[in-house]
Amino acid sequence: MSERRIELEVLRYSPERDREPRFQSYTVPCLDEWVVLDALNHVKDHLDTTLSYRWSCHMAVCGSCGMMVNGEPTLACKAFVRDYPDRIRVEPLANFPIERDLVTVMDDFMEKLARVKPWLIPGEDKTLGSGEHRQTPAELKRFKQYTMCINCMLCYSACPEYGLVPEFLGPAAIALAHRYNLDSRDGGRAERQEIIARDEAVWQCSFVGACSEVCPKHVDPAGALQQVKLASTVDWYREHLLPWVKK
């Protein structure tokens, strides 16, 4: 295997001793098949054990290794070193407070995610003896794409609206709400609409589309948000102009 040496510029910040973030450079020998996460692991194992970052699966499934690689929100386990120049800059995800080095504070995202109730709220009560909630392949297809979200928060980091308006509910939370609203087994749409149809929610979205561009699982949160806008508009017309029409 060929070996290449790269310069890894990593943002460092320790709230106990640093007044502000700084960059630290490491020279790392990389194999051709390495990803940026492998380079960071080399630094951690051989050069600087104090470096802090999140990772778990190394398979683009857990979503925990999201960070900025040369200015782009990326999963470090999907960013092959061979696709970058000899100097690679690694920073924590934009739009989030830094907890330490490449680790961000996730509290705001987790609170917003919980608000949209991203779980099935049964549309009808069924006992175990009455059998499962059946669903056709066509009904599954309506929402399957949105089930692929891994909560990596790359979309929040790429979203200019979230960067400017921290109150914005954000693409992943709204897309996940949409996923359950489309599920034929679910009966919680009215509860979620109270949250996602507000001004600081779906109507804050200006449809830049950056969230879908960086999504590693091709969820297309930008498309989901536009569908929510359309559904919310139909709700408004039905409520105000056609109140006799049943939903």
Burial 39-77 (b: 16+ CB within 10 A, else e): bbbbbeeeeeeebebbbeebebebbbbbbbbbeebbbbb
pLDDT single digits (tens) 69-101: 999 999 999 999 999 999 999 999 999 999 999
- Domain final position from 70, 104, 138: 104
pLDDT given for residue 123 in this prediction: 82
Whether residue 42 lies inside any domain: the answer is: yes
Mean pLDDT, rounded, for 177-205: 96
Joined together, the tokens standing for residue 90 give: 């690694």
Any idea what the CATH number is for the domain that residue 19 is in? 3.10.20.30
- Domain final position from 51, 80, 104: 104
Whether residue 245 lies inside any domain: the answer is: no
- Is residue 2 predicted with pLDDT exceeding 80? no
* Whether residues 91 and 121 fall in one domain: no
* Whether residues 59 and 127 fall in one domain: no
* Whether residues 93 and 126 fall in one domain: no
- Is residue 36 predicted with pLDDT exceeding 80? yes
Whether residue 247 lies inside any domain: the answer is: no
Whether residue 43 lies inside any domain: the answer is: yes
CA 137, 138, 141, 147 dihedral sign is negative
* Whether residues 49 and 138 fall in one domain: no
* 179 SS3 class: helix
* Whether residues 113 and 148 fall in one domain: yes
Residue with tokens 């960067």: 163
Domain count, the chain: 2
Rounded to a whole number of angstroms, the distance between the first and last alpha carbons of the chain is: 62
Mean pLDDT, rounded, for 127-131: 81
- Average pLDDT of the chain is 94
* Whether residues 73 and 139 fall in one domain: no
- Could you give the percent of the chain with pLDDT greater than 70? 98
Edge to edge, the sheet with strand 66-69 lists 22-31, 3-12, 87-91, 66-69, 72-75
- Is residue 157 predicted with pLDDT exceeding 90? yes
Mean pLDDT, rounded, for 110-124: 94
Range of the domain at 156: 107-240
pLDDT given for residue 247 in this prediction: 55
Whether residue 246 lies inside any domain: the answer is: no
**pTM given for the model:** 0.92
